[in-house]
Amino acid sequence: MERPLVSFLLPTRGNPELLRNAVNTLVKYSTGEHSYEILLGIDDDDAETLALFPALQDLLSEAWVLKVIISPRRGYSRLQDYYNDLASISSGQLLALWNDDVVMLSPMWDFYLAQELAEGGLTPYLMWLPQELPLPPHVVFGGFPIIHRKAYEAMGHFSQSPLNDRYLHDVMGKWAGLGDRSYLSRVCIRHDNAHADTRIDKPLLDEHHEATIQNHIIADREALSKNGLL
């Protein structure tokens, strides 16, 4: 049996309506000609999101599988743990970093992802989705990486930092297709993080990222290189 085209790794907390919309746009704009996975990481004290599970199931067609990991709350500083846990139960050819505040904008997005996967083979093992902004220039490159399963298997994890997109950027190449093995997708999204938790100390996370994970970056690059992926 062929693997799902893509597994969307989606930790979520306290945003049930945003989550519903995120899932709905993925399903609505897909062709239904492939199989797909949505994998949710939910905290065990997040009653609102847990209660939404039946409604999310109702949004899905037969082409979609919904998987859920319920765990004690780990918080933003351990966001990579959510993604790694979800990746460990995924089966898609592609693994997509996703949020509950992301909406899909491209009709037939799965057609384009499948085409890009076929065109590039293992080359686009790190794809970036361009994001539409409300103000000019309207579209910005970078963010929301999608990695090939071969890259995930070579590294043995999805990320080693709560700054997951930045970590994958540091491991695999430059932004928006400028590196040897990065690839800018034709699929476009919108990310509305105006509701984001202002208590997160982003500069402190940046400092932590720089100070603690360089050995992980080096090890992952070596693993990818050993497997012919870098």
Tokens in use for 185? 């997708």
Q: How far, in Å, CA of 137 to CA of 131, rounded?
A: 11
Q: How far, in Å, CA of 34 to CA of 59, rounded?
A: 16
User: Domain 6-226 belongs to what architecture?
Assistant: Alpha-Beta Complex (3.90)
Q: Provide the edge-to-edge strand list for the sheet that holds 36-43.
A: 64-71, 36-43, 6-12, 94-97, 145-148, 126-128, 182-184
| Cβ partners under 8 Å of residue 49, min gap 6 | 12, 13, 14, 15, 16, 19, 40, 42, 43
**Residuewise pLDDT in 10s, the chain (230 residues):** 689 999 999 999 999 999 999 999 999 999 999 999 999 999 999 999 999 999 999 999 999 999 999 999 999 889 999 999 999 999 999 999 999 999 999 999 999 999 988 887 555 578 888 888 766 666 777 779 999 999 999 999 999 999 999 899 888 865 434 455 567 888 999 998 765 554 455 555 656 656 678 889 889 989 988 988 87
pTM: 0.90
Q: Are 31 and 119 in contact (CB under 8 A)?
A: no
Q: Is 28 helix (H, G, I), strand (E, B) or coil?
A: helix
Q: Bridge-partner residues for 37, per DSSP? A: 7, 65
For residue 88, the model assigns a pLDDT of 98
For residue 225, the model assigns a pLDDT of 87
CB atoms within 10 A of CB 26: 25
For residue 161, the model assigns a pLDDT of 92
Q: How far, in Å, CA of 124 to CA of 129, rounded?
A: 12
Antiparallel, parallel or unpaired: β 102-104 and 189-191:
antiparallel
For residue 177, the model assigns a pLDDT of 42
DSSP label at 4? P
Q: Are 126 and 132 in contact (CB under 8 A)?
A: no
For residue 164, the model assigns a pLDDT of 93
